[in-house]
A and B are shown apart, each in its own frame.
Chain A
Amino acid sequence: MKLLLRPTAKRTYRFLAEHKTGLIETAQFLALSGLTIVAVVVGLRGLRYDWAWFRVPRYLLHVTDDGIAAGTLLQGLGVTLQISGISLILAAVFGLITALFRLSRSFTANALAQVYLEAVRNTPLLIQLFVIYFVFAPIAGLAPFWSAVLALSLFEGAYASEIIRGAILSIPRSQWESSYTLGLSAPDTYRFVVLPQALRKILPPLTSQAVSLIKDSALVSTIAISDLTMSGSATVSNTFLTFEIWFTVAAIYLVINIALSLFASFLEKMVRVP
């Protein structure tokens, strides 16, 4: 007996010693998961809410005579993606121009960029949206969709410009000097030497700015645009599926933003310099 037991005990001990950190991690993870499940179950019981998840899918996709069509929520998602997509491109353009203005020696360009930055960064986006929608849009004959795009891109562009400016400033002076001695013009130096290097530094912070933009786009529901949030809100009023619909809407935002982040890290790997 003794002869048989002793090696087993030894082996068990050695196993425990070797996998100490792994075992502790596993225990922690299981404990946390368990607590979360208990908390959710207890919480839901306390709510006394009648879940009706089965009623949700029709607001994502529904069957018509012609086949399957997008439901209210996916139609709203389409609008959100359009607004965010266009705003993202415009925000990058505004950001780049503002950054270059702030780096230029021109007093006017500097003042213009500075006023824009301070005005946009120090007032709430919601107010900016209202000002553009209620004040400028009627004057300029701007559709609500474009008011939303303009407000979002101006807002995110201001933040993007600081990211871009920081990245440009982080390119060492020696890169400018060697471009200078090769006879490259200033625009060429930006285009071929500085911006390509800055872009690699910009990608991670600009991705989180893009994620912010998509989340901030929910505000456009306040100016009568049926984006994802507006569609969610409308669906809730019609169905009283408050929790199910809002959880679904949140999950859709989550999926889109995670996909965006994954795409950005893929891009980062693509442009990495050996």
Chain B
Amino acid sequence: MKTLGEVIVELEHVSKTFPGGIQAVQDVSLEIHRSEVVCIIGPSGSGKSTLLRCINGLEDVDDGRVVVDGIPLDKKKVHRDEIRREVGMVFQSFNLFPHMTVRGNVGLAQKRVRGRSDAEANDVTMELLEKVGIADKFDAYPGQLSGGQQQRVAIARALAMSPRVMLFDEATSALDPEMIGEVLAVMRELANEGMTMAVVTHEMGFAREAADRVVFMDEGRVVEVAAAADFFESATEERARDFLSKVL
């Protein structure tokens, strides 16, 4: 196991209840350190995605505290704006901008938020597209790409902001089986380069190989947190063992 860097994401007793009384997240505390890869796994509806969305403020927490790289996620707009600039997110359904080319998708926030010039943005975009293996799709529209290619563009788009932490919300769940591999490969490479990552996934193989720690959630609560190897070899909690026996 790597030596732990400083804490980048800090969740303290976070709770989130949706209108209608569904308690999506209940009293979750979690720390993610620099360069750490944390996989959040668990059955559907266990609050994994909601927890992830609490980290960058896509969901407001009802209780508890969220701190990202020293910035508290509170009502202050400056804090919120800084956090969403510094936290990259990749969605299950890619969410590319369909009316823009790949260049436009990856370049927009670089220019509008980071203030890069067209030329600088294009250079960064090209570099990132090469990294995710689709440099030839520079001028293509999302509608002309496969799911796997679209998701790799989405990853490049998030990376273009040089985020301090990347969130992956079931990034491979909407993909055909043969495309899952190409996206996981990119994620694995990122992990190896020392990117801090919080990954909600159903890909147990990825969690076992790439994760430093695994967080197992059920019914909105964190049931078990363990080093990836330990978790898959010998989960301590009954509920986690039961889940693993079904998915492995």
Contacts and interface: CB of A to CB of B under 8 A. Distances in A.
Interface of A: 174-175, 177-178, 180-185, 188, 192-193, 196-197, 200, 273-274
A181 B56 contact: yes
B58 interface: yes
Interface string B148-165: 000000100110010000
A274 B97 contact: no
Contact of B143 (A177, A182, A193, A273): A273
16 contacts: A174-B93, A177-B95, A178-B95, A181-B56, A181-B84, A181-B88, A181-B89, A182-B108, A182-B158, A182-B161, A184-B108, A192-B97, A197-B97, A197-B99, A200-B99, A274-B143
Interface of B: 56, 58, 81, 84-85, 87-89, 91, 93, 95-99, 108-109, 112-113, 141, 143-144, 154, 157-158, 161
Contacts of B96: 178
A197 B141 CA distance: 14
B109 A182 contact: yes
B157 A182 contact: yes
Contacts of A273: 98-99, 141, 143
A192 B112 contact: yes
B158 A181 contact: yes
A221 B81 CA distance: 54
Contact of B113 (A174, A183, A274): A183
A71 B112 CA distance: 53
Most chain A CB inside 10 Å of its own CB: which residue of B85, B109, B158, B161:
B109
Contacts of B109: 182-184
Contact of B58 (A177, A182, A188, A192): A177
Contacts of A175: 95, 97
A183 to B, nearest CB: 4
Contacts of B157: 182
A192 B110 CA distance: 13
Nearest to A172: B95
Contact of A182 (B93, B99, B113): B113
A153 B45 CA distance: 50
A174 B91 contact: yes
A174 B99 contact: no
Contacts of B89: 178, 181
A200 B141 CA distance: 16
Given A193-B108, A273-B143, 14 more contacts: A177-B58, A177-B95, A181-B158, A182-B108, A182-B157, A183-B81, A184-B109, A184-B112, A185-B112, A193-B97, A197-B98, A197-B99, A273-B99, A274-B141
List the 9 closest A-B pairs by CB distance, nearest first.
Answer: A183-B85, A182-B109, A178-B95, A181-B89, A183-B113, A174-B95, A274-B141, A273-B99, A188-B112
A208 B145 CA distance: 34
B112 A180 contact: no
B144 A274 contact: yes
Contacts of A180: 58, 84
A181 B112 contact: no
B49 to A, nearest CB: 12
Contacts of A185: 81, 112
